[in-house]
Amino acid sequence: MRVLTTIDEMQAACREVRRAGRRLGLVPTMGALHAGHLSLVRAARATCDVAAVSIFVNPLQFGPKEDFSRYPRDLEKDLALLNQERVDLGFAPSEEEMYDSGRSSYVTVEGLSERLCGRSRPGHFRGVTTVVAKLFHIVEPDVAFFGQKDAAQAAIIRKMVRDLNFDIQIVVAPIVREQDGLAMSSRNVYLTPEQRKQAVVLYRALMRVQTLADRGERRAAELIRAGEEVIREQPSAKLEYFEVVNSETLEPVADITSGALVAVAAQFGTTRLIDNVLLTGSGQAQGPEMKG
Ligand code: AMP
């Protein structure tokens, strides 16, 4: 794997790939890689000629009181994992490299960016779309890979790509989970062993909703009521939202007949976790993808 740290070098390397007529896939990440990230890397390797992975903890998507400074970072370990996965290009720029010209230009997807996590994390999605737009310009990939784990992010990026005519295919890969159902996340390392056990309640709540939908329940209010009831069984979980929304517009839906995204966010101690399940039009959810 070639590891590049400057924008100029990365642009040149990607230009070479395109000139050779090879299909280029990009997986944007913030590092602290786990099996969820690696599933995206494998999808890129399987469907593209050249796989590029960016590792950049993007300050723009963290609020002033959020965990930017303590976000887990282990570049050496990440690069070793990417090497094992036979990634071709690693892009690990510094903060100065990415934002050296100051921060006066932003990419904002209005409306969607204020929904779900956007409500409690103002500016978060603007930070995400700005850095992803920059990465898209630097790499100019044919395909970019994102995880369903961050369902709102995926919807917002899809909208950005449509609105701004990026000629890039967006692939969204299923959520990779631990054996007990907890969605893999770089932030799971913050959890104490006790909180780690408690956090499974998110998955249990989503599975309760899925079961009800499978049995024919179509009313979003009823699904939310049932999901929140499961969350309340774990009093240490501080629920931020439990919503049933349209997976493209992120607007609440009253009925799930045409499919819906069920999304949850809750805090365990100081750690904020999110999870979701996609219900298809028939009410069936996509099966979970477990580790190992
Ligand atoms: P992050 O490093 O957290 O910004 O994540 C980088 C990419 O990996 C994003 O597209 C995430 O949605 C995706 N991702 C993170 N966790 C998972 C997971 N458990 N399963 C699948 N994709 C994931």
Residues 259 and 199 in one domain: yes
pLDDT at 127 over 90: yes
14 touches 140 (CB < 8 A):
yes
Ligand 1: which residue has its CA nearest to atom 13?
147
| 268 Cα: distance to centroid of ligand 1 (angstroms) | 20
Residues 237 and 158 in one domain: no
pTM of the model: 0.96
Residues 79 and 204 in one domain: no
Residue 235: φ, ψ to 5°: -60, -20
Residues 33 and 97 in one domain: yes
Residues 228 and 258 in one domain: yes
User: Which pLDDT score is estimated for 282?
Assistant: 67
User: Which pLDDT score is estimated for 102?
Assistant: 74
- Total count of domains within the chain: 2
Ligand 1: which residue has its CA nearest to atom 12?
147
Query: pLDDT class for 283, splitting at 50, 70, 90?
Result: very low
Residue 139: φ, ψ to 5°: -90, -35
Mean pLDDT of 51-64: 98
Please choose from 26, 40, 177 the residue to mutate so as to test ligand 1's pocket, defined by most ligand atoms within 8 A of CB.
40
Residues 203 and 109 in one domain: no
pLDDT at 128 over 90: yes
In the three-class reduction of DSSP (H, G, I as helix; E, B as strand; rest coil), residue 212 is classed as helix
Please choose from 34, 150, 176 the residue to mutate so as to test ligand 1's pocket, defined by most ligand atoms within 8 A of CB.
150
| 186 Cα: distance to centroid of ligand 1 (angstroms) | 8
CA–CA gap between residue 195 and residue 176 (Å, rounded): 20
Kindly report the number of other CB atoms within 10 A of residue 103's CB atom: 11
What residue numbers bound the domain in which 164 lies?
A: 2-176
Which atom of ligand 1 is nearest to 145's Cα?
Answer: 10
Residues 116 and 205 in one domain: no
The residue that leads in pLDDT, 290 or 173, is: 173
Which atom of ligand 1 is nearest to 289's Cα?
Answer: 20
Q: Are strands 24-29 and 50-55 parallel, antiparallel or unpaired?
A: parallel
User: Which pLDDT score is estimated for 100?
Assistant: 86
Query: pLDDT class for 74, splitting at 50, 70, 90?
Result: very high
pLDDT tens across 193-229, in order?
999 999 999 999 999 999 999 999 999 999 999 999 9
In whole numbers, what is the pLDDT of the chain averaged over residues?
A: 96
pLDDT tens across 246-260, in order?
999 999 999 999 999
Cite the DSSP H helix spans in the chain.
7-19, 35-47, 75-84, 95-99, 117-120, 124-139, 151-163, 193-198, 201-214, 220-232
CA–CA gap between residue 41 and residue 51 (Å, rounded): 7
Residues 34 and 124 in one domain: yes
Task: Indicate which CATH number applies to the domain containing 265.
Answer: 3.30.1300.10
Of the residues 146, 176, 206, which one is the last residue of a structural domain?
A: 176
User: Which pLDDT score is estimated for 117?
Assistant: 98
| 53 Cα: distance to centroid of ligand 1 (angstroms) | 12
pLDDT at 287 over 70: no
CA–CA gap between residue 222 and residue 200 (Å, rounded): 21
Of the residues 155, 176, 197, which one is the last residue of a structural domain?
A: 176
Mean pLDDT of 104-132: 97
Residues 206 and 170 in one domain: no
Residues 108 and 54 in one domain: yes
Which atom of ligand 1 is nearest to 37's Cα?
Answer: 8
pLDDT at 292 over 60: no
| 216 Cα: distance to centroid of ligand 1 (angstroms) | 31
List ligand 1's pocket residues with C-beta within 6 A: 29-30, 36-37, 39-40, 146-147, 149-150, 173, 175-176, 183-186
Which atom of ligand 1 is nearest to 32's Cα?
Answer: 2
CA–CA gap between residue 133 and residue 201 (Å, rounded): 35
User: Which pLDDT score is estimated for 210?
Assistant: 98
Query: pLDDT class for 18, splitting at 50, 70, 90?
Result: very high
Quick one: which of 116, 70, 91, 82 has its CA closest to 14? 91
Q: Is residue 158 part of a domain?
A: yes
Catalytic site residues?
37
Q: Is residue 23 part of a domain?
A: yes
Residues 111 and 151 in one domain: yes
CA–CA gap between residue 220 and residue 243 (Å, rounded): 8
Query: What's the residue count for the chain?
Result: 292
| 147 Cα: distance to centroid of ligand 1 (angstroms) | 5
Query: What letters, b where the CB count within 10 A reaches 16 and e where it falls short, cover 259-280?
Result: bbbbbbbbebeebbbbbbbbbe
Question: Residue 54: CA atoms inside 13 Å, Cβ hemisphere, count?
Answer: 29
